[in-house]
Each structure stands twice: as C-alpha cells, then as structure tokens.
Structure 1
Amino acid sequence: MPDDAELDPQAATMLEAIEAIGLPPSYATSPATARQRLEDFFGGGDPEPVAATTDYEIPGPAGGIPVRQYSPGGAGPHPLVVFYHGGGWTAGSLDTHDNVCRGLVNRADCVVLSVDYRLAPEHPFPAAFEDCYAAAEWAAEYADTVDCDPERIAVAGDSAGGNLAAAVSLRARDERRGVGFRDESGDAPEIVHQALIYPAVNSPAGPTFGSYEENAAGYFLERASVEYYYGNYVADPADARNAYLAPLLADDLSDLPPASVLTAGFDPLRDEGRAYVERLRDADVAVTHEEFAGQIHAFVSMTDELDAAADGLDFVGEELRAAFGTGPTE
C-alpha cells in the first residue's frame, strides 16, 4: 500500500465483497471469461442520462470499427472526445464504459465517441492501436458531420485505454513530423488534449516501479493480471520497446498535446503514471496530475459503488472543459 494513505472505506467494502464471492482471478481464466467478468461487473447499473446515443461503424484498417456516439443537448458544433476503454487490451467494450462516457458528456459538455477496438490475444499489438488511431483520424475528418468542431478534438481513456490515448497522441505528433508509420509529413489529427486515467504506459521491457510490489494483490487490479494482459497484447517481444505500445519508453515526448493524468494510490500502475507525468513535464508539455490516494484501479468506473468515482469524472471533465475553452461546470 502507498505510504501515509488509507484505503477508501467504500473501496475496502467492495473489495471484501468481491473476495467473498471466491472467483478465480482474471489471469487464471480464459480471455472469454475475463471479458464476461468485466461485462458483468461494469455493464449494468443505472445509466446517467444524456441527450442521445447512436451506435454505428467507421472504417478501420481491418474492417469496420464499432463506435458509440454520446451527444449532449444544445446547439453545436460541440467539442469531441475520442474515448478508448480499458480492460488490458483483452476485455472491455462499449457497454463496460458506458457510464464513464455518459459522465464525461455531461461534465465536459461535449460529444464522446467511444471506440470498440480489436482485442488481444486474437488481435495483438498493433491492432488496437491502429484501430484507435484510425478512429482519431476519422473524428478529425468527419467531425462536422456529427455536429462537432474539428478544432476541438481530444482523446481520453482509462488503463489500457489511457495507453492507447497516449499512443495516439504520440503518433499524431510523429505523422506531422514525418516520422510516423507513413514516414512522410502530412495531415494528422490535431489533438488539443489527452486525458489519461490511471494509464498503462510502461511495458515488460521498461523500468520496475515500487507500486507493482506495494499493490501487487488485493486491490482489484493485481500485478499478475497486468502481466497476463501484456502477455496477450505483446505477441512479439521486440514490440515491448515500441513507443506506441509503451509511451513511457519514447525517446522524445516534446510537442505533445497538453495532458491531464489521474492516478490511484492503491494501484499497481500508480508509479508509471507518475513517471509519465514527470517525463511530460521534462519535455515542456503542460500537464495536470491528480492522485486519488485512497483509491484503487478502475475506481472511476465504479459509479454505483464509490462516491470517489464522481470526483474522478469531475476532474477529467473540468480538464476537458478547460482544454475546449468552455469554462467550468455550473
């Protein structure tokens, strides 16, 4: 556990209830079971109302990419957030993060486009990353067709989705510099902000952090599960040093969009999130960091169980409003 911090009582109660069920951990199950577990845990609840939701597909590098568009009320054009769900690149869906996307729509007064990218191990790196970048490109090209402002596009995600948001931001910068996948400068999504919620920005080839040991077990996401998810996503060990897989390992983080980074004290990913904040600051990237010292990984998704989930969404929503120039919430 982190020094000088106490686990939030609501989180402790929820963890005790999960332990009492006596189910095997995710790393001891198949990907299909891990996916169903996440659907069962996060897929229900009482959804926060938004003005409209629409499901459709957009073109992707391997076929159609399912997306869900969440729209606020009022006249547009609205700012647009391209959102990437967590789940260790193995699990997660439009439904598991429906509550988070709804919360961001209402707090940031924006359209949210949630992306149902391909999952590992069936589709290892770079499949998810390529889908997510394609979604950002689509958003930049077609924002006006969904009543959005192409000059106000942000990316956001939690956990593995935070990894993907950071990686998409890196690639967009690289494409403008002519050092991306196409090796020539040209059009790339103009991302005004990256909102990273307890992001997984390291890899098995990166440094070892104290939070991996301090929070190795008992706090929802376990170190063994992190290793399991990376095992699914990283089919080629050489990819573990790829900056688009592990943004923390990038040589250069300059000229990236301003960032907001949320970390949780009782999370094995805590220290890599902190380290990414420092790397961004060293590269003169504007970054706001908020750590919820008493919280666990995925707490922002636990809107029915934890009061702190609303606080986490408030932080991200306020950061997005500031980036979009729409002012504070009332």
Structure 2
Amino acid sequence: MLAIAARRGEEVIRDGRRLDPQVQAMLRLAGRVSPLENRDVASSRRDMARAAILGPRGPQRVHSWERDLPGPDGPLRVRFYRDANLTTTPPAICFFHGGGWVIGDLASHDGPCRELAATSGAVVMSVDYRLAPEAPYPAAIDDCLAAYRWLSEHSGELGVDGDALALMGDSAGGNLAALVALGARDQGLRPPAVQALVYPATDFTMTSRSIDTFAEGFLLTRDSMEWFRGQYLPDSERWHDPAASPLYADVTGVAPALVFTGGFDPLRDEGRAYAAKLAEAGVPVVDRCFDDQIHGFYNIAITRSSVAASDEINHTVGAALRGDLAW
C-alpha cells in the first residue's frame, strides 16, 4: 500500500533534501490521526502502543526477560534482550525509549530493542523510567542514571563486558542518554564506551531553525513538542539548564558519541549542533544525518529506507562497542 501511495503527489524537498516517497505516503496516512496536543495523556499513551505494532518485531532468536532494579523512588523495571547465538562475553547497551518523556514504555520499543540486540551483538537493557506528568523532570534522568549505575556495577553478574557498555536512546531517550553520559563523568561512574543518540532532544528552548522548517506535516510537530515540554519541564527558567538541555553543558571528557538525525526532523539541527559541540571539545563523534527520513524512523521502521537506516545505526553501535569503528 505504501508503494502505491508513494507514487501520488509531488516530491517534497526541503533544504536540498528529498523526502523518501514511502515516508511521504506514511505521512498522508498519519495525517488522519488527531494531534498529540489535542489528546489527553492516557489516550496518547494508548495510541503509541498501537503505533508500535507497525514497527519492527525482531528475530525470534532474541530472548528477553525482566527484573526490577533498585530505583530512586522504588523498584525500576528493566527488560533484557540477548541473542541466543552469542557465544562470547558480549558488550551491553543501556537503552532509553523515546516518547517525549510522557509516552512510551518497554512494549513500545520492544521490536527495536530486539533488532538492536540481534544486529549489534550486545545484550540490551531497556529501562522503564518514570514518565511525566506524574513524575516530571528530573525523575526520568534519576531513573536512567540509576539503571546505568546498576549495569556498570553488575556486569559480571549479567555476563557482559563491563568495559564495553553503551548508552543509547531515541528522541527523549537520546536526551536521557546524553545526560546520563554527563552524569557518569561527573559522578565518577565506570565510563561508557560510547553514547548512541538517535535524533536526540538537546535544547529545551526549541529555537533551532529545523523546528520552524518542519513545524508541521512531518509527524512530530512544534505543537506536539511544546505539549511534551509542558508535561515534563514547564518551568522556562530551566530550559537553558545543562542538567536538562545537554547542548548547554560542558561536554569535555564525555564518552565518544554516535549522533544520528533525520533530514526532515524538527530535532535535526539541535542534534547536529550537539554533535558539533562534542567535536569541538575533542570528543570522538560520528555525525550521521539520514537525509530522507522524518522523526521516529528508528522505532517505526516500516519503509525500505527507514529499515535500512535503523539497520545501519545498529551495525554502527555494534562496531563501536567492538572497537571496529573508525572515528
């Protein structure tokens, strides 16, 4: 159906980039859905759960199990993923799901985490951190830092290589991964080998040009971003705080970074600005923009190009953890 619909309509070109026609077709279908800012939190969470059905399911050889970790406000649920074909001590990835700090959970990113485990050759630990508005800023950061601390201290128990740990997340999860990388440096935790940031939110001021360029019509809208921000961090006095917006942080000595963005994503420019900031501070960086993609291409990989992009991301993360990546 996407292939047929993609042949209709004119090409979409912005900033010299051409939107993938299949993605364009998907956007026409998505345009029939009520915007996030017009719905309540509960219905938005249900809609994300339904949307997750469209995304990747992952190979059956990846098995999963759950457990509770000690969290800052009670038990913190995590889900582990391990490829049955692993025979050596693998690296591990601490993964934080996207969803604007308001929606999303272990189930919404189950498929992407299975694909990640299978392709990267790592054990993946997905974190079910607390969500706003019930638990606003900085609850999610506190939970994610606690999860990484546990992983770094229990690598032997888990049977993974404690010197090959990654932090990873998409969108809001990318924001959390960047902040946990900074927190690990500041608190003297075992340093991650890499931080993998997939279209990360790095600047709560929302002033980058791409937010205006792609304010509507490309799945994630400016209005939706403002709605998420209002649920999680409504205090404008905190938007410049480096503890919330990593773009304003001192990034000296932080873990090497893989920064992945989409050419038609409102978050594109702030993600790339963070990559540039890291590079200027001497941090090894890979800055990869998938020019024909929109926000969400990693967790809802249903077009040929988005599947290929997600696969490239997972392979790159695995290569970085094995020490095979040329920075």
Q: Deviations over 1:58-116 (max 9, x none)?
A: 11000111111000222232100000000000000111111111111111100000001
Match of 2:268 in 1: 270
Q: Residue 26 in 1 paired to residue 36 in 2?
A: yes
Q: Deviations over 1:132-178 (max 9, x none)?
A: 000000000111112111111100000000000000001111113xx
Match of 1:182 in 2: none
Match of 2:204 in 1: 203
SS at match of 1:241: coil
Match of 1:78 in 2: 90
Aligned positions, number: 311
Match of 2:27 in 1: 15
Q: Any unmatched runs of 5+ in structure 2? A: 1-12
SS at match of 2:18: coil
Match of 2:195 in 1: 194
Match of 2:165 in 1: 153
Match of 1:163 in 2: 175
Q: Report if the CA contact (8 A) 1:261-1:277 is conserved.
A: yes
1:63 to 54, 62, 74: 74
Cα distance in 1 for partners of 2:317, 2:55 equals: 25
Q: Residue 39 in 1 paired to residue 49 in 2?
A: yes
Cα distance in 1 for partners of 2:62, 2:48 equals: 26
Match of 2:140 in 1: 128
Shift of 1:327: 4.5
Q: Report if the CA contact (8 A) 2:49-2:108 is conserved.
A: yes
Cα distance in 1 for partners of 2:70, 2:237 equals: 29
Cα distance in 2 for partners of 1:246, 1:128 equals: 14
Q: Residue 172 in 1 paired to residue 184 in 2?
A: yes
Q: With structure 1 as the length reference, what TM-score do the two structures score?
A: 0.90
Match of 2:152 in 1: 140
Q: Residue 243 in 1 paired to residue 253 in 2?
A: no
Q: With structure 2 as the length reference, what TM-score do the two structures score?
A: 0.91
- Report the AA paired with residue 211 of structure 1: S
Relative to structure 1, the CA distance from residue 61 to residue 323 in structure 2 (aligned partners, 3 Å threshold; closer, same or farther) is: same
Shift of 1:44: 5.3
- Report the AA paired with residue 239 of structure 1: R
Q: Deviations over 1:33-73 (max 9, x none)?
A: 11111101014556222331001211100011111100022
Percent identity for Structure 1 against Structure 2: 39
- Report the AA paired with residue 48 of structure 2: L
SS at match of 2:165: strand
SS at match of 1:64: strand
RMSD of aligned residue pairs (Cα, Å): 1.6
Cα distance in 1 for partners of 2:55, 2:179 equals: 31
Q: Report if the CA contact (8 A) 1:198-1:269 is conserved.
A: yes
Cα distance in 2 for partners of 1:111, 1:75 equals: 12
